[in-house]
Structure 1
């Protein structure tokens, strides 16, 4: 992605002034670099390299120039030389790792992410430690998005497609057919304008005549945009350009601001700058929620978590706005989050190079619970994401189609718009209840199997006994439901013959309780393990001796199952093995102490699949909270 880089504006502040006294060529190159003219700066820097002048510094500048131009293929060549320089700043380890992802060298990328971490850099370990599992899941996931041809891309940058009332708006640098073309020095392309075309018309030959009517477009950058549901109000990004004057901050940088326009007689007019803009930092990428009560945007304002963060303001009916609110560190990272979009269900989509992805910018969705709290960040996977920049996601109201942009290989221009169709998620859901009391059963485990009895997914019921699992259309399944002190239930499920736009399949389950004698179940308390160990601690053997006494002396017919678990740290596959070792160590101890093996009906490790709290790696947890997950539990199966 090239031209849109003016929108990832946090990098502006990272470009430092170069001390005087350098050669004339380097001074000229640095001046071009500081003014974002990376194309011409790179030419001069390479000339200095050929003359072996100040090579370490100049090589870093070339590498950064290619990175800013979103050209990882060239950036990785120069960063490889940079990271072996003596006393190189450790941030270049991170930059090299990112560039390596841009050329799909994920193995080498993990090495340099780890080098950055070991050198004191701030980065979440899951960014590289679980990369194999992440990539395997992405590349082997069932495809839900299918790309369709877009005929109106140009040889320049096109992105930020937005549909409203059968009109398609988008941002483009295709300033063709006019006598004077202003060029953006960053990459020598024309400045961005907002265009519109009717979806039903021929979109093969969109020209400068398709620019939106009114006073929105200027001689500098405009876009992206969002439009209110009634079609009367537009919010859009623009360079800080007012009254024919282009303003700059104290560092000489022109920031981005959000403006509002009204539709009158087919033209966008009454251009107003929003009051929470600033001359000191940028605000861009406007996006409205479903009812227009909140406006989301991207900013590098002070107090954020990284380069650019996502924020929102409340939009009041009297035309005023609340103070900007940061969306928090579940969404924002130490890198860049940008291009927010909210679909018809108010689900948030955005682009980021801070969450684990396939390359540079990837597109993500924020997964929320019933209280609208973000519980996980979902990478949309391929073909939406690639090893290059993928951004400016849009989805239609029915959720079945939309657009995004990418600078991936094979496109027509520097950035291209891609259309997609989507298979909607079919949700299997229902309520688990007690056959006797008719009350909902919390924490029952539902396991979905395919026709070959292979496990597909697991889910636990909430406090209301509700469960939900995503399934495919035209497929047969079986659903097994288990709960301590209840008989297992297996139900046949099929989605065959259902309409393609169906989103939900109901399956309520009734469990029959197992009649057990009264027993002090509270005495069968869990035992706990140290981190990354499966040997029994002293406090664990004390509890195990109590269980031995109960089974031999107090309840001679009691039979149990052993279930062992880990915390979420470490690779998933390793945690499965570790939990199995913990289960076996527990089993071996009970047998050694005299419990008949026939009375232990199984011992199994569940890895990190059944955490007792929310410490799944998405939030910061104390050691005490992690300890609660490193446990072995004892399930009473029968008493008689």
Structure 2
């Protein structure tokens, strides 16, 4: 996977060689691994493993070598051997990479176990969320994804960017020269920038970008400013024909800017930005819509993981101040990169350090909340370099989902608006009965009515084709009831909400006991127990809300015991109930009447002499609160 190179560094010793020249004799595997020659180091490590040698170092480096070339299935196999045989020697970073590899092969439960071990071995408490199977909080919308005809079999093509009426992208495709420079990391040619025409989904006129932007080393991930006068792009630390390395002899990535020649419109000599350093990589430039902020990826000190997203202010092509890390809301312990800022100011990026389907997944920062774009934008492979034109909801992304892990392709997509159905049910807040012919309105955050209607005989009203992802306010009203409103953030799933309207009066004959739990008394007692007092407070509250309400309290017993005794017991319980409402609630005595009915009004067959369970008898020990008038 060519794009993985753009997260990391390059060793001077591995930069290139002529494919027509005889290859040098392979050095020891560790040396090649340290030089990022992962393909060659894998061959030696695998041979050693086949001969029966085993160690934590061997298994760990095999896992790493496959991981950094995006072969997650193989990486998971070797990390698994490491964890199984040498658990006491596994580093937190290896647990983390093992977890990411497991996600890519959909072993989400085991991945979460490895994340727990990673967190246990690190300090500072990483707060990123790792969910089973890809997490929550999806961006609303339905995407259709199609591979572009721009891709060339056997080569990596990725990082499509808007370039006026064209697109600009990076590719390892054969340039037609007699010798091709090969990168030992993954045995593919170096990257150059190309342009292409795209019309009605068809790609034509693929041309290598002219001028001094392309060199014999890597160029990729470019962004054109709004007026088309400056091009920011990623390149190896190479300028003025000088190839520079860090103190440990590795070549880092840098961001360069090239300006158009006013007379020829050709790109001029590229200049590196002052945010670069020989000691760390700076890559993946992206611009805010107003061109005043440059976003980028870097493994510079002060980050949260292997690669973080940063920003810095611009004035023209001049950098103002020091870069700022985007913080832990965006950045993770893993690889975060490939930023893109849309016309609406939404920051899209790719990460393998948070909940996803596997490998790198595409996310968006929207109002300080991270959302995943889900499938089919994301897959169990690496998905990255997402760009979108919000005026027509079309765009491009890159992925290796259909190929060998080292081979990336560019895909186009169309985002269909997310629309769903919202069903509203209206009920009486006191009786809990459904209400038909209630007026329902749906309003946006600007209080504009988007739709309205009356509930049907089934009390429901359905709003069709409601756009997803936004907050709406559903307002309900009906004559004789209060007007109530409820907010809802509509998702892609069909939504159902219930709104309760408070009636101006309660109809005579309604039993308020349906609104409370049964009131129980101790055996042969008539005092109000604490649990009964809680329920009676609800009756008191209703009486206070409806000052004109009068009720009749009717108390009953079960059939056990003498009939006359039960009649007297129910009367005592009735009197204590009424007394509590009057004294504790401050309710006027002329609003309450009642008496005891003993066992004369049983609700079931449990009369004298009939064997019944305690639960059946309990149904008859009840108090009713019947509305007389309002």
Category of TM-score, reference length = shorter chain? 0.5 to 0.7
- 2:192 maps to 1:219: no
Name the residue aligned to 2:70: 70
- 2:391 maps to 1:393: no
**Aligned residue runs from structure 1 range 126-525, under 5 A:** 127-128=129-130, 130-131=131-132, 134=135, 144-154=142-152, 155-200=154-199, 210-264=207-261, 265-317=264-316, 319-368=318-367, 374=368, 376-410=369-403, 414-425=407-418, 470-471=467-468, 480-481=474-475, 486-488=482-484
The C-alpha deviation readout for 1:109-163, integer Å capped at 9, x for no partner, is 22322343345577757734x425837x86xx97611012411112211111012
TM-score (ref. length: structure 1): 0.64
Instruction: Assess, with a 3 A threshold, how the Cα gap between structure 1 residues 412 and 450 changes in structure 2: closer, same or farther.
Output: farther
Q: Is the 8 A contact 2:106 2:358 kept in 1?
A: yes
Distance in 1 (CA, whole Å) between partners of 2:327 and 2:453 is 34
How big is the shift at 1:312? 1.1
Distance in 2 (CA, whole Å) between partners of 1:546 and 1:331 is 52
Q: Which runs of 5+ in 1 are unaligned?
A: 13-24, 369-373, 430-434, 458-467, 473-477, 492-510, 517-542, 560-590, 597-638
Distance in 2 (CA, whole Å) between partners of 1:233 and 1:160 is 18
Q: Is the 8 A contact 1:290 1:346 kept in 2?
A: yes
The C-alpha deviation readout for 1:339-376, integer Å capped at 9, x for no partner, is 000111111100011121110110001111xxxxx1x1
Q: Is the 8 A contact 2:133 2:357 kept in 1?
A: no
Distance in 2 (CA, whole Å) between partners of 1:190 and 1:233 is 27
The C-alpha deviation readout for 1:9-54, integer Å capped at 9, x for no partner, is 2799xxxxxxxxxxxx997111111111100000011122233345
Q: Is the 8 A contact 2:259 2:270 kept in 1?
A: yes
* CA RMSD between the two structures: 4.5
SS in 2 for 1:199: strand
How big is the shift at 1:211? 1.1
Distance in 2 (CA, whole Å) between partners of 1:512 and 1:274 is 63
Name the residue aligned to 2:543: 556
Name the residue aligned to 1:84: 84
Q: Is the 8 A contact 1:286 1:296 kept in 2?
A: yes
Distance in 2 (CA, whole Å) between partners of 1:243 and 1:286 is 21
How big is the shift at 1:379? 0.4
Distance in 2 (CA, whole Å) between partners of 1:58 and 1:105 is 24
Distance in 1 (CA, whole Å) between partners of 2:455 and 2:297 is 43
Please identify the structure whose Cα radius of gyration is greater.
Answer: 2
The C-alpha deviation readout for 1:149-185, integer Å capped at 9, x for no partner, is 4111122111110123211110111133111211111
Instruction: Assess, with a 3 A threshold, how the Cα gap between structure 1 residues 594 and 124 changes in structure 2: closer, same or farther.
Output: farther
How big is the shift at 1:106? 1.7
Instruction: Assess, with a 3 A threshold, how the Cα gap between structure 1 residues 125 and 423 changes in structure 2: closer, same or farther.
Output: same
Name the residue aligned to 1:36: 36
Q: Which runs of 5+ in 2 are unaligned?
A: 12-24, 423-439, 488-499, 506-529, 547-576, 583-628
Q: Is the 8 A contact 1:90 1:121 kept in 2?
A: no
How big is the shift at 1:279? 1.6
SS in 2 for 1:112: helix
Distance in 2 (CA, whole Å) between partners of 1:453 and 1:351 is 46
Instruction: Assess, with a 3 A threshold, how the Cα gap between structure 1 residues 544 and 479 changes in structure 2: closer, same or farther.
Output: farther
**Which structure's relative contact order is higher, taking Cα pairs within 8 Å and 6+ residues apart?**
2
Distance in 1 (CA, whole Å) between partners of 2:73 and 2:328 is 31
How big is the shift at 1:199? 2.2
The C-alpha deviation readout for 1:413-461, integer Å capped at 9, x for no partner, is 71111110111356999xxxxx9xxxx999xxx999999999999xxxx
Q: Is the 8 A contact 1:548 1:594 kept in 2?
A: no
Q: Is the 8 A contact 1:213 1:266 kept in 2?
A: no
Instruction: Assess, with a 3 A threshold, how the Cα gap between structure 1 residues 57 and 455 changes in structure 2: closer, same or farther.
Output: farther
SS in 2 for 1:321: strand
